[in-house]
């Protein structure tokens, strides 16, 4: 399955996949809002998106990365913010291919590492991440402060 960097022509397919991603995390949003968010990412270039397609060209999944600076390592790193594979395409290697594309991109960019977080209930994702060499952090907790209502 081909994995490639997202371009503007991928926006409709990416929006559909991103809507599925948000439903998975039980935060459904209007597709127009999703498309505007993704279009903004592409225009600003503030994230890196990859899309996986099957041999017929149907979009099967995506991964999104954001750059950050690792203060502890004093080097650049990437946050693997979003990974999603369409329900009908799971268990076919697409998630692994997207994760490998993210890793290759980060390595080529000179990053010291990739960071991600996932729901405690996402056991399939955790299994994939650990199989690919990601190590669960036992030293730090993640906190969130909502600045909206």
Q: Tell me which of 89 and 105 has the higher pLDDT.
A: 105
For domain 3-131, the CATH architecture is: 3-Layer(aba) Sandwich (3.40)
Residue 100 CA to residue 6 CA, distance in Å, equals 16
Specify the pLDDT at position 116.
95
Residue 7 CA to residue 37 CA, distance in Å, equals 14
Specify the pLDDT at position 104.
97
Give the chain's end-to-end CA distance (angstroms, integer): 42
**Alpha carbon distances (Å) from 130 to 68, 108, 126:** 22, 22, 6
Q: pLDDT tens, 97-133?
A: 999 999 999 999 999 999 999 989 889 999 999 999 9
Residue 22 CA to residue 12 CA, distance in Å, equals 15
Q: What is the pTM of this model?
A: 0.93
Angle among Cα 142, 110, 63 to the nearest 5 degrees reads 55
* E-strand stretches of 6-74: 48-53, 59-70
- pLDDT band at residue 91 using 50, 70 and 90 as cut-offs: confident
């Amino acid at each position: 399955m081909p994995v490639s960097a997202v371009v503007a022509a991928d926006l409709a397919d990416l929006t559909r996949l991103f809507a599925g991603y948000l439903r998975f995390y039980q935060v459904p949003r209007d597709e127009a809002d999703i498309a505007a968010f993704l279009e903004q990412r592409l225009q600003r270039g503030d994230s890196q998106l990859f899309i996986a397609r099957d041999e017929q060209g149907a979009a099967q999944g995506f991964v999104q990365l954001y750059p950050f600076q690792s203060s502890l390592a004093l080097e650049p790193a990437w946050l693997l913010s979003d990974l999603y594979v369409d329900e009908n395409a799971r268990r076919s290697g697409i998630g692994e291919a997207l994760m490998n594309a993210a890793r290759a991109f980060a390595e080529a960019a000179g990053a010291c590492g990739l960071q991600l977080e996932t729901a405690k209930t996402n056991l399939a994702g955790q299994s994939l991440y650990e199989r690919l060499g990601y190590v669960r952090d036992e030293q730090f907790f993640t906190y969130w402060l909502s600045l909206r209502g």
